Amino acid sequence: MPQKIFYVLKVKGIAKIPDYIQVRDENFTLIGYFRAGRMELNKPDVSKEIFVQLEKMTENIPFGKITPITLEV
């Protein structure tokens, strides 16, 4: 299966603002922005399987650091 690199950034929320996760493609185009634990598909051209893989991987990513992730698409 072909692989694709995504860049993930976890943003720590403060007080009533929840934690958020940004997902960007290899060109750093934003393809997803969602609350941690409540992943929602924001772009119709990105498959649901990618977000299922991302959801599992984002639990261990540190806050405030852009992390490259390679996924099978």
Q: Which two tokens stand for residue 16?
A: 């009533």
Burial profile 42-73: b = 16 or more Cβ within 10 angstroms, e = fewer: eeeebeeebbebbeeebeebeeeeeeebebee
Q: How many residues does the chain have?
A: 73
Q: Are 42 and 31 in contact (CB under 8 A)?
A: yes
Residues 23-64 have pLDDT tens digits of 888 899 988 788 776 666 555 556 667 667 777 777 788 899
Write down the domain spans for the chain: 3-72
The amino acid at residue 31 is: I
Quick: pLDDT tens for 7-18.
989 888 888 888
**pLDDT at residue 40, rounded to an integer:** 60
